[in-house]
Structure 1
Amino acid sequence: MASVMNKLRNLDAYPKINDDFYSRTLSGGLITLISSIVMLILFFSELRLYLHHVTETQLRVDTSRGEKLRINFDVTFPALACSIISLDAMDISGEKHLDVRHDIVKRRLDSHGNVVETRQDGIGHTKIENPLQRHGGRLEHNETYCGSCYGAEAMMSVVIHVRKFVKLIERKVGRCQTLRSLTRYGACKREGFVQRVKDEEGEGCNIYGFLEVNKVAGSFHFVPGKTFHQSGFHLQDLLEFQEDNYNISHKVNRLAFGDYFPGVVNPLDGVQWTQEALNGMYQYFIKVVPTEYTDVKEHVIQSNQFSVTEHFEKTQVHIQSLPGVFFFYDLSPIKVIFTEQHVEFLHFLTNVCAIVGGVFTVSGIIDSFVYHGQRAIKKKMEIGKFG
């Protein structure tokens, strides 16, 4: 048994020095104090990383198909009334959503930005297809019917750029082409729209809600007037509302493609363009990047990030630019995957050992250098060779 103990004693990699041979110095004490502080700082830093999750990032090709894209928006127009703003959405697959009203809320704002009224019946104009209703066994005019101004709707301005052609259309549909003439005809009076436009004159509008669209490239836009589709053309009725100038000053309070996830940054949140004569087409070109976020509880959030560039096309004298705010979006084929995870305990233990051993070794080297340097200087001073 004694021989076994002797063999184990010979394996000791840390031979002990008799305390009588220790020499403690002031510099060694300072180095020990500083190294201990550094060691504690690094230890608590590593402990903090261990107690909190870390996020791993991966890039993969997006292979999803047939999904929907949710667009959350909150936009304020300080110089456009709610009654004259329409929201349209379309994509490259050919699907169109004109004069969107579902899942939309609009708030009338006065000149100071205070909320006058909140409506949840959507944006645009309520349109009931049947102009007649049965009452007491006979047909009478439906007072809620939004008339077409005697067929003028089908001939209203196309998304065109030539003002001369617009004036030609005005002459063809002259009976209901302006707000003043709208009040002269029964069909336009019954729809009750004229009075609403007059009531909201000088007001602004805050529009918020969401759109569910196909997960393909497309666009959505806020424009003054009423939009419709006729004979394969995208038409916009601007003439019955107002003069030629529309102030499209706006503030994007929020724009997000999908649900929120930790760390997401939406670059358009809070962007504001406010000028007294901001008349023309304001365009946002958006690149949407599909994103998947998995938290430590393995809850998966399917969302998107995006980048954006902007362009403003001002209305010119001889060129009729379609006024409004347009958002054109395209999808990236690359998907970003974020995964939250905790640091493994063995990894934490390894880092702690590396911290303790590394700091102890480096401080020992520094102490040895300082100690031997002091001794060399002292010897030279004793023999008078220092300096």
Structure 2
Amino acid sequence: MQVADENPPSYFASTNPTYREKTTRGGVFTVLVGLVVAVLVWHETREFLWGEAGYEFSVDRGIAHELQLNFDATVATPCHYLTVDVRDAVGDRLHVSDEFKKDGTTFDVGQAQHLESQRASKEASASKMIYGSMEVKKVTGNLHITTLGHGYLSWEHTDHALMNLSHVIHEFSFGPYFPRIVQPLDNSVEITSVPFHIFQYFLSVVSTTYVDASRRRLHTHQYSVTEMGRETQHGRGVPGIFFKYDIEPMSLTVRERTTTFLQFLIRLAGIVGGILVCSDFGFRTADHLVSHFLAGPPKTPLPGFVPSPAAKPPNRSFASGFGRD
């Protein structure tokens, strides 16, 4: 009767020695895989927490007769000598000085910047702050600020020494306020040192609808702007600040897209599992190529040296004592 072998055969495949060997190449590869996993997990987490906006453009099929205009600016001219008017493509002229609130203040640039992102500075002087909201026709129009006697017919004439059309635009927008829309003219400034100066802003207004994750809708507007300014001579032009806006026949829809918690977990599992599987395959392939193509030639043994064969383990067995002489 034979005794069982002390080293029984293994029924499970042994671990590849390469996986237990610590190398610089393996460490760098592990760090890179960890960084990729961290970046993708952070992207999915951010999309789950805050959502991601999707943009769709289409022809504006809505019918609207009025448009809300929001205006807040400071002009470096004494309050009494400024007038605000709106003229639209229909031919109507609205004297809207009474539609806005007017307060006397000092001209302070503060943190405002030029549209070309340059800081501006000007000494404080008597100024006028004009702010408020009003309804205008949803057609091409022109909002302009001029001085008395240098534009529309007026019984009063503004002294040239008091005229200064330097201005800071705190807000210029159309429609309800929406914090994610950045209006180009907000917190902008233009400075001049001459009394006869023309500032012109050409605005292209686009209807915008925002839809949040709960499918609530907010209808507002945003615009792009082109600015031009030039000096003029007395009697050869009307000095003032002109906002010429045009309504574009297109509409922009912004949809906030988020994922559920179950979808978030499934996507995380897919990302982590997929990267680990692909990285394992890539590491095996790279290690195989390096070991076969970049390894040096096999080492030649020294002359006269013959490696001794491995000793065979003794076959330990015993026989039963019965039947022995």
Q: Scaled by the length of structure 2, what TM-score is found? A: 0.72
Pairing partner for 1:323 from 231, 239, 252:
239
* 8 A contact 1:47–1:348 mirrored in 2: no
Q: Percent identity?
A: 24
Partner Cα distance (2:230, 2:73) in 1? 20
For residues 65 and 255 of structure 2, the distance between their equivalents in structure 1, rounded to whole angstroms, comes to 22
Classify 1:259/1:348 alpha carbon distance in 2 versus 1 (closer, same or farther; 3 Å). Answer: farther
Cα distance in 2 for partners of 1:260, 1:300 equals 13
SS at match of 1:296: coil
Does the 8 Å contact 2:37/2:275 carry over to 1? no
Q: Following the alignment from structure 2 to structure 1, what is the Cα–Cα distance between the partners of residues 54 and 40?
A: 22
| 1:205 aligned to which of 100, 105, 128 | 128
- The superposition leaves residues 47-85 of structure 1 with CA deviations (integer Å, 9 ceiling, x where unpaired) of 33223211111011111223321111111112x111111
Q: Distance in 2 between matches of 1:324 and 1:216?
A: 22
Moved more, 277-286 or 236-245: 236-245
Work out which of the residue numbers 191, 196, 204 in structure 2 matches 1:274: 191
8 A contact 1:88–1:99 mirrored in 2: yes
* Of 145, 152, 169, the match for 1:222: 145
Is the partner of 1:71 in helix, strand or coil?
strand
Aligned partner of residue 374 in structure 1, secondary structure: helix
From 50, 53, 56, the counterpart of 2:54: 56
- Contact 2:146-2:240 within 8 A present in 1 as well: yes
Aligned pairs for 1:87-126 within 5 A: 87-102=84-99, 104-110=100-106
Structure 1's 377 and 89: CA in aligned 2 closer, same or farther, altered over 3 A?
closer
* 2:196–2:233 CA contact under 8 A, matched in 1: no
Moved more, 354-363 or 289-298: 354-363
Query: SS of 2:181's equivalent?
Result: coil
Unaligned runs of 5+ in 2: 1-10, 111-124, 302-325
1:354 Cα deviation after fit: 4.2
Q: Is the 8 A contact 2:33 2:275 kept in 1?
A: no
Matches within 5 A, 1:115-154: none
Contact 2:72 2:169 in 1 (8 A): yes
CA contact (8 A) 1:86 1:226 kept: no
Paired with 1:262 and 1:383, the residues of 2 have a C-alpha distance of 75
The alignment status of 1:332 with 2:251, answered yes or no, reads: no
Q: Which residue number corresponds to residue 182 of structure 2?
A: 265
Q: Which range is displaced more, 342-351 or 47-56?
A: 342-351
Say if 1:362 and 1:209 are closer, same or farther in 2 by CA, change over 3 A. same
State the number of aligned residues.
273
- Deviation, 1:315, is 2.3
Deviations 1:206-256, CA, capped at 9 Å, x for gaps: 1111121011111111111179xxxxxx94217534348832111112111
- List alignment gaps of at least 5 residues for structure 1: 1-16, 115-201, 228-233
SS in 1 for 2:202: strand
SS at match of 1:43: helix
Residues in 1 aligned to 2:107 and 2:187: alpha-carbon distance in whole angstroms: 20
Could you give the per-residue CA deviations for residues 335-356 of structure 1, whole angstroms, max 9, x where no partner exists? Answer: 0110112135447624641442
Tell me how far apart the structure 1 counterparts of residues 168 and 37 of structure 2 sit (CA, whole Å).
51
Distance change >3 Å, CA 43–CA 284, structure 1 → 2: closer
Name the aligned partner's letter for residue 331 of structure 1: I
Residues 1:355 and 1:262: Cα distance change in structure 2 (over 3 Å) = farther
Q: Is 2:305 the counterpart of 1:382?
A: no
Runs of 4 or more off by more than 6 Å in structure 1?
Answer: 111-114
Shift of 1:361: 1.8
Aligned to 1:248: 165
1:83 pairs with 2:95: no
Q: What SS class does the counterpart of residue 26 from structure 1 fall into?
A: coil
Shift of 1:109: 1.9
1:153 maps to none
The aligned amino acid for 1:38 is: V
User: What is the Cα deviation at residue 29 of structure 1?
Assistant: 5.7
- Partner of residue 360 from structure 1, selected from 248, 271, 277: 277
Matches for 1:6-85 after TM superposition, within 5 Å: 18-20=12-14, 22-23=16-17, 24-27=20-23, 30=27, 31-32=29-30, 34-36=32-34, 38-78=36-76, 80-85=77-82
Are the structure 2 counterparts of residues 51 and 88 from structure 1 closer, same or farther at C-alpha, using a change threshold of 3 Å?
same
SS at structure 2 position matched to 1:362? helix
- TM-score, length-scaled by structure 1: 0.62
Give the Cα–Cα distance (whole angstroms) in 2 for the partners of residues 265 and 337 of structure 1.
Answer: 16
Counterpart of 2:227, as a letter, is E
Q: Hey, what's the Cα distance between the residues in 2 that align with 1:334 and 1:99?
A: 28
Provide the secondary structure at the position in 2 that maps to 1:94: coil
Partner of 2:287: 370
**Equivalence for 1:285:** 202
CA distance in 2, matches of 1:34, 1:66: 55
Alpha-carbon separation, structure 2, partners of 1:41 and 1:95: 57
Larger fraction in helix: 1
Superposed displacement of residue 113, structure 1: 8.7
